[in-house]
Structure 1
């Protein structure tokens, strides 16, 4: 018999790890004690050495779904035990990670459909492996008293599960049942309660069948919901929400329903049914019964499965798929309380399904797509963030990375640990900036943080940068696209002293020269970066106004390259006086950009005849459906004196049909990346929002693999601006 002590760090608190360890120890006949402390979970176990080795192997092989072991240290002890206990925490500090909300697990789903189970069809069913976390936590430690579930007193049955180390609801803080848990209420648009609990579900589903628009409160906020097959209902939702084109996400009950709407690979199926249950972008099947206006002019659908008991309960009485889009004003965070819903969306909804479990912090749905069986995230929130992990840095100190202004997400370094916030959004909006401050304040208060240094984007006018200056923080700044590429290095743990060729393609980033960058090829090494190439600069007529009115971008490029004769047919669609005014403005404007995102807009305008767009990435998404993988056709970009000239490509696009133009344009970008990478003879980094175009990313990856070129991009932490904070932290830690 022998005693071993185990020190385990990672995500091992608040995820059912101690009862998991307890059950394993019983299985292998071990005695001892199990407890939490500042560093993680500590075990002191006594038994046969063979049993202890089997226990250690099972610890990794059978790890509970939400746990993650980052490090395990083991050493011999001299204690002898005659019983096994989970003992009180030996921590006076708050060290546990704040976890995100998780989708309903398979065990709870089985109970949900089991007529003999006390939680049969219970909308708030959960256990230690699933359910709300971030949305209900007010402070740490993660005990019920510090969550919004404190208002609900456990019944005897729930309390017995909560206290039993062999039960999967042991210390599941949101535990409840129909006797003691939250209640559902269907309300009209002035807040009057119409029905409660099961009757509210039944009546809500009937209203959806009748073509009504409902708001439904879930884990982290409200969704706007209607019948996804009812064209009139969706048209009404678009009209009321002032959302003419942006696609709506769809929620399905099960995989069978998904497969009727979209093509789905094994990897996409795995993702859809995981404990994340994110929105997954899938290729739409033609001729489905979905309303055509779900995703206008697109060949992809954003689909998720029902991820909570509330949504599963709805589908007990619904035989249709539903639109489930975030309830918010465009550009603002998701709405999560009743008063704000009625104030801001009272004229959008007909009824709403509410419940009395308070949401303390809202969270959005995560979004993902796959390319060549690799999962790529475009938004990381429910099921993913907040995300905590131990870095390879051992510096003492606390540092804040503010991230970007658009698609904001911040990151904190604290004595080796990285904390990444959930997706926050576009800080130009007052409500979103308030959310940024609220989430940051939650982290600061919970972990009693004082920042030694703050790092921000180089752009001098970002609102989060102005805020940091007002607070008097010690501040450093880093160029936007450099941060994008450093995030890739951080995600893949690449050597800091290596040399890389980085392609950073996006919409907007403040350059060292004060211009708007976005089509950049950088050389990255231990000394920093060097701008090797950029897309040919052109003027933004009307500044930010042109980002929506993309024909102005197209016209600017036409003027730049003297292509008015070749563009006669395209220009004939627009008022001559308006074009004359734009031409005059072009002569005097001094706003220049090298943004490939804006080049995408210009190509979409001339190829598809788009005058304007109403949501971000609309251009790239609408171009996608014309791409022909079987077509061997590519435009050519010319590189001279570090400038990527696309005149001939644009000239060809003005006369080609959509199939050739889109294929030629996307292949040209992929060929450019391949050519420069091959000549550079270095490992390649890819980042920026343009690489979230799955068609382009797929083509680039295929080309680089064909040439045996090593490449990396942010699939886990996103290629868009949400990865900026990670790159900022990496830069700061490398320099301090």
Structure 2
């Protein structure tokens, strides 16, 4: 016998997050009959009830979502149902594979409470988890997300865990990584040769002693190994810099709790919520004092809280703050396997802490900073990506956007979903390219994908495009613009054009030159480059030698007489040879990133940059908020003349020069925008500069800047895809 009822189809992040138990509990509370099950699209609910009761159920469901759940779409259909005498959770229904794979998440409050409870079975258990937290992406091998398809398949649940796993009202109902000390994941402390020195909780006790003694340890986290040492042991820090060949780049820190963070950095309410939330990213904070060995020459610290029970157990025995930097060779991916760790980094660490659950998919820590009261993400990986966005465009086909060569993330469009991959890295490295290929293959196999169109950058020499015979090329800076526009699409009328300031380090231009200081009038369908920073010739393509950039802009604006002090530091013969190379160079750029590097080479008397954005971070340290001073940028011959910036760098002391430069950029944006009755979009790596954005906000200037998706090259693939989906 059939009864009138309703089918509710829900898509979004609704699998593996405790969603079905919530539905079950809510149905019992409202005394509803029916069933709930996962399917290939999300979750399907069948309710035998009145329309009024069904709507009440949906409203209560939306108001009480589990911490990790997100509803993208709800479809409600009236239908005939079989007769139900209860409400139940039924096995997954297999369908087209479009179910999102969730990222990994920080330990939830409930599990943390149990971890510290001596009366709890999982007291001090380093892998305590539930459906509200813990690993997902790092352990999944195949869809559907069931235990047998994860790296937990080798661990047999004990009766205690199985009882929780099967009980619909338990928050560990179908928590695939569930385990406890009885069916445990084992931990091992090992030396460089792989010999086991200690196991389980004793391993953490010994780790703490070794760290206090100044040793460098590789510690296996959720998505890979970190290199860790005592953050206040000078010898350990110096040794880590030498071994990892990392002379100046800041180290990220890991603290046990908020109080430890507050001892190191200034922290407002929003920053505290971000660093302590379920995403638990590295947050860039203003340091309370100089930490010259942790973050040389800058006043910012990247800090994260211990986000796994494994880290918390380490902090039970190590009293202090830890450096926690990714275990990798320069330019390569984070190491996730023991064999790779020992072969690649065997001379960097002294001991390592390993456990016997495999990491199938590696992932990096996400990075964020606060702009006003909003989080701006600079890297999107753990806790954020893979990211799935429901599209409203109803475009037919399956498409791949390859993205950029640097800071790569790729984007896939399928079944009306936009899938953004986790952060991958710089594809110039063979190791990182292998990670790119493996991850792309993982998603292709998971969702049975074949691509109708492949999108890529216009650069003719990006090697990672070689595996794709036919591609559609999209200009780098226009992709930046489209990614930012997409984030605020609801703020724009259909096809409304915006004024886009797209400022970064490098991107292949339509004219074959290196762009990077562009102003566009554009929408998601088309763009026009209306002006840009004055092109100048490059001595060579090596952007690390930033004093070469300084020479280029000095010669470009014929400032030799003013630059005598700077030029005198370079041997005469070398200077003459460099000028000959400059005179014959055909390589030109409009990049503001390179202009800022040239400016910094002069102001800070640096020959080389040690890491990307070093000059920008140093400038933020010297900016004087109360100094009312600015250089002048102006349009000359339809280009942005930046001569005053270089003159100022040559003549003024550091604080005045830096303040004048950043104020000049902000003032130019405001003044130039007054020529157009258009909304303003800011994108590109230059706009990761928190100080520049805060200057604009202080002047009450209205603008849109990428926050959810990085404004750097990680979002190039997103921009490529968004343009393709919107073009005719």
The alignment's TM-score, normalised by the length of structure 1, stands at: 0.96
What residue number does 2:29 align with?
27
1:12-68 CA-to-partner distances (Å, cap 9, x unmatched) read 122211111111112222221111223321212235766544432221111001111
1:596 to 589, 592, 595: 592
Helix, strand or coil: the match of 2:418? strand
| Separation in 2, partners of 1:667, 1:467 | 45
- Report the Cα offset of residue 78 of structure 1: 4.9
Residue 602 of structure 2 corresponds to residue 606 of structure 1: yes
- Report the Cα offset of residue 353 of structure 1: 0.3
| Separation in 2, partners of 1:370, 1:341 | 34
| Separation in 1, partners of 2:638, 2:70 | 46
| Separation in 1, partners of 2:199, 2:645 | 61
| Separation in 1, partners of 2:564, 2:419 | 54
What residue number does 2:725 align with?
733
Residue 242 of structure 2 corresponds to residue 239 of structure 1: yes
Aligned ranges 1:463-612 → 2 under 5 Å: 463-469=463-469, 474-493=470-489, 494-525=492-523, 528-543=526-541, 545=542, 547-612=543-608
What are the ranges of 5 or more consecutive residues in structure 2 without an aligned counterpart? Answer: none
Counterpart contact for 1:29–1:51, Cα < 8 Å: no
Q: Count how many residue pairs are aligned between Structure 1 and Structure 2.
A: 723
The CA RMSD over aligned residues, in Å, is: 1.5
Residue 271 of structure 2 corresponds to residue 268 of structure 1: yes
What residue number does 2:9 align with?
7
- Report the Cα offset of residue 75 of structure 1: 4.0
| Separation in 1, partners of 2:662, 2:104 | 37
Aligned ranges 1:64-463 → 2 under 5 Å: 64-79=66-81, 80-286=83-289, 292-463=292-463
Counterpart contact for 2:524–2:726, Cα < 8 Å: no
Counterpart contact for 1:407–1:423, Cα < 8 Å: yes
When structure 1 is superposed on structure 2, of 711-720 and 434-443 the one drifting more is 711-720
- Report the Cα offset of residue 465 of structure 1: 1.9
Helix, strand or coil: the match of 2:152? helix
1:248-270 CA-to-partner distances (Å, cap 9, x unmatched) read 00000000000000001111111
| Separation in 1, partners of 2:397, 2:523 | 25
Counterpart contact for 1:14–1:96, Cα < 8 Å: no
1:677 to 650, 670, 673: 673
Counterpart contact for 1:371–1:697, Cα < 8 Å: yes
1:346-395 CA-to-partner distances (Å, cap 9, x unmatched) read 00100000000001110000000011111101100000001112111101
| Separation in 1, partners of 2:474, 2:515 | 14
- Report the Cα offset of residue 433 of structure 1: 0.5
| Separation in 1, partners of 2:709, 2:525 | 25
| Separation in 1, partners of 2:681, 2:392 | 20
| Separation in 1, partners of 2:525, 2:68 | 39
| Separation in 2, partners of 1:367, 1:629 | 25
| Separation in 2, partners of 1:458, 1:500 | 23
1:97-116 CA-to-partner distances (Å, cap 9, x unmatched) read 11111111111111110111
- Report the Cα offset of residue 5 of structure 1: 2.9
What residue number does 2:694 align with?
698
What residue number does 2:711 align with?
719
Counterpart contact for 1:29–1:47, Cα < 8 Å: no
| Separation in 1, partners of 2:394, 2:450 | 18
What residue number does 2:624 align with?
628
- Report the Cα offset of residue 76 of structure 1: 4.0
- Report the Cα offset of residue 684 of structure 1: 1.0
1:319-371 CA-to-partner distances (Å, cap 9, x unmatched) read 10000000000110000001110111100100000000001110000000011
Counterpart contact for 1:487–1:726, Cα < 8 Å: yes
| Separation in 2, partners of 1:344, 1:614 | 22
| Separation in 2, partners of 1:125, 1:40 | 26
